[in-house]
Amino acid sequence: MSPALFDLTGRRALITGSSQGIGLALARGLAEAGAAVILNGRDIDRLEIAATGLRNGGHRVETLPFDVTDHAAARAAIDGFEADRGAIDILINNAGMQHRAPLEDFPAEAFQHMLQTNIASVFNVAQACARHMIARGRGKIVNICSVQTALARPGIAPYTASKGAVANLTKGMAADWARHGLQCNGLAPGYFETPLNAALVADPAFTEWLERRTPAGRWGKVEELVGAAIFLSGPASSFVNGTVVYVDGGITASL
């Protein structure tokens, strides 16, 4: 096996929602594989803190703050970056949100906000990047899904719906864009220790349930997502399209 299959040297990757958590871990991982990375978020100060940390590790880092839920803003930011600073070769659509409530009491405004953050953002940023990738005849798009792409549990039905939609949108991207040289796939984390899951991590009863429910018997660590992300972002996945890779300790494989 050639190490070049997993070498991202000479490529530039945009990771949305990358000032913390999974997004920042994936940015660091892709940078360690040789990519120049672009951090995205709405909070400029937090982005700069994250970027400084990566730069201190010797990595090539740029920031591109914009609101992924705003179609016009996403297109303007990406078009401007491509014109001024060069090609975006890899997109990781990571930005997302969670809101927990019983479905019968779930606030309508929270549901709409979730649709914009978890689904519309994937469309907005992928479309803007894909227009440039199609012109070049190559590109990698990795959409962050979830175990809730395939499973449900009480209190998060709208999140489950949104992540199922991300998986099907990913299939649609592959159906439309594979012929142009793009590979579009999903990466589905299981239960990981992240700020999004802080309330669950702090709940001993939930952790006990998770450890019994997951064949690996533990929470995942964000660094354990990096290998799959590099695979989907690099030459090794040149004929992988429209699939979802689950990194979940086996939770979707067992009852």
Element (H, E) at 16: none
Written as six digits, the tokens of 20 are 């913390």
CATH no., domain 3-249: 3.40.50.720
Sheet holding 61-63, edge to edge: 61-63, 36-39, 12-15, 90-93, 139-144, 182-189, 244-247
Written as six digits, the tokens of 127 are 């479309």
Sequence-distant (≥ 6) Cβ neighbours of residue 69 within 8 angstroms = 116, 117, 120, 121, 124
In the block, tokens 């590790």 appear at 57
**Helices 157-177, 108-115: crossing angle, 10 deg rounding:** 20
**In the chain, which residue ranges form alpha helices assigned H by DSSP?**
21-32, 44-56, 71-84, 108-115, 121-136, 157-177, 198-201, 204-213, 226-233
Examine the residue annotation and report whether 191 is marked as an active-site residue of this protein.
no
pTM of the model: 0.96
Q: Residue 197, by phi and psi: left (phi above 0), alpha (psi -120 to 50) or beta?
A: alpha
Q: What is the pLDDT of residue 245?
A: 98
**pLDDT digit string (tens) for the chain, length 255 residues:** 678 999 999 999 999 999 999 999 999 999 999 999 999 999 999 999 999 999 999 999 999 999 999 999 999 999 999 999 999 999 999 999 999 999 999 999 999 999 999 999 999 999 999 999 999 999 999 999 999 999 999 999 999 999 999 999 999 999 999 999 999 999 999 999 988 788 899 999 999 999 999 999 999 999 999 999 999 999 999 999 999 999 999 999 998
**Helices 157-177, 121-136: crossing angle, 10 deg rounding:** 10
pLDDT digits (tens, 9 = 90+) for 109-136: 999 999 999 999 999 999 999 999 999 9
Q: Which of 159, 219, 231, 246 is catalytic?
A: 159
Q: Are 141 and 166 in contact (CB under 8 A)?
A: no
By residue count, the chain amounts to 255
Q: How far apart are CA 251 and CA 255, in angstroms?
A: 8
Q: What is the pLDDT of residue 74?
A: 98
Q: What is the pLDDT of residue 3?
A: 84
Side chain identity, residue 75: R
Q: What is the pLDDT of residue 95?
A: 97
Q: What is the pLDDT of residue 234?
A: 98
Q: What is the pLDDT of residue 1?
A: 60
